[in-house]
Amino acid sequence: MASCKEVSALISKALDKRLGLRNLVKVKLHLRICGGCTNFQKQADFMQKAAKQFRQRLTDNS
């Protein structure tokens, strides 16, 4: 089983590019049993969406 440190790094990496099948499965399996990493993924997704909306508002107001 992957460690929380490894999975959190993969979650961060997945924000920028697609994970390979092996790493994707590793993350999915880990998230089924780890509430901390599940919360980290939700927070990372939220931050990514918030940053995207912020950038859109900046360009819309220009």
Taking CB atoms within 8 Å and a gap of at least 24, the contacts of 24-29 are: 26/2, 27/2, 29/1, 29/2
Q: How many CB atoms within 10 Å of residue 32? A: 9
**Cut 0.85: pTM above it:** yes
- pLDDT attached to residue 60: 85
pLDDT digits (tens, 9 = 90+) for 33-43: 999 999 999 99
Q: Nearest Cα to 44, choosing from 5, 18, 4, 8?
A: 8
How confident is the prediction for the chain on average, in pLDDT?
95
Confidence of residue 24 (pLDDT cuts 50, 70, 90): very high
The token pair that represents 50 in the structure block = 């918030």
Range of the domain at 8: 4-60
How many domains would you assign to the chain? 1
- pLDDT attached to residue 61: 77
